[in-house]
């Protein structure tokens, strides 16, 4: 069976709960650890789907992280082949950029537990249909994307208008982290890079974020239990083609 390809930018940003949903439908996955080495060639069209994970860099830091430029071609190839594609946080920004949309600073960082509002179009979306409009998600971002031309806007928040979109019938960009586990939240808050980013942000309290971790994860499970298995099912169907 064809595997899922997952583009990983830093060790701490993993598939998280997506592993469980992939495993439940019999899928395997291959982590492409771009922070270690960049493949000369990646057979995207031979995969069951593509997941583009998050990371602390921004999409324009190609000089520092050359793989960011290479990824855009892989993402475009996957979208052109109509493979299931899921971009998370940085991954959503890379997906947007690959489709010609602008990525820029959001003006204020969202880090922690936030509410998002699903757009009316989400009611007819293959991943989001059936969900109540108000959802709780985990965020860690300072940049945002414009909605690509021809894409469908799916979600927004009070601090960031563009939280999710779908392009075509099989590619999604999610600014938020619906895949995180308790361990991932702790690691991000506790790692040196996370502490350094949080230190000057007097409007974000890391202790308050951690204090809400169990409540936040329970609330987010409502979305995760709908969106992630639906994406896994699309990948399972693609794996059989």
Q: Which of 19, 89, 110, 160 is catalytic?
A: 89
Q: Which of 13, 19, 110, 179 is catalytic?
A: 179
Nearest to 91 by CA among 186, 181, 16, 192: 16
- Look up 183 and say whether it is catalytic: no
Q: Tell me how crowded residue 180 is: count the other CB atoms within 10 A of its CB.
A: 26
- Look up 89 and say whether it is catalytic: yes
Tokens at 10, concatenated: 């830093």
Nearest to 27 by CA among 207, 176, 238, 224: 238
Instruction: Give catalytic residue positions.
Output: 89, 177, 179
């Amino acid at each position: 069976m064809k595997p899922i390809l997952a583009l990983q930018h830093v060790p701490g940003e993993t598939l998280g709960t997506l592993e469980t949903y992939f495993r439940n439908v019999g899928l395997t996955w291959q982590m492409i650890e771009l922070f270690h080495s960049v493949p000369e060639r990646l057979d995207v069209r031979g995969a069951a789907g593509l997941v583009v994970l998050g990371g602390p860099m921004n999409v324009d830091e190609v000089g520092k992280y050359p793989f960011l430029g290479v990824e855009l071609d892989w993402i475009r190839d996957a979208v052109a082949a109509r493979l299931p594609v899921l971009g998370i946080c940085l991954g959503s920004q890379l997906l947007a950029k690959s489709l010609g949309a602008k990525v820029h600073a959001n003006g204020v960082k969202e880090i922690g537990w936030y509410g998002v509002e699903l757009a009316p179009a989400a009611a007819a979306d293959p991943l989001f249909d059936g969900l109540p409009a108000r959802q709780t998600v985990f965020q860690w971002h300072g940049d945002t994307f414009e909605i690509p031309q021809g894409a469908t806007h799916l979600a927004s928040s009070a601090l960031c208008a563009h939280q999710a979109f779908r392009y075509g019938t099989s590619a999604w960009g999610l600014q938020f982290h619906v895949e995180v586990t308790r361990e991932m939240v702790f690691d991000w808050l506790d790692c040196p890079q996370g502490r350094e980013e949080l230190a000057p942000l007097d409007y974000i309290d890391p202790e308050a974020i951690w204090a809400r971790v169990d409540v936040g994860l329970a609330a987010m499970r409502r979305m995760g239990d709908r969106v992630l298995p639906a994406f896994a099912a699309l990948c399972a169907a693609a794996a059989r083609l």
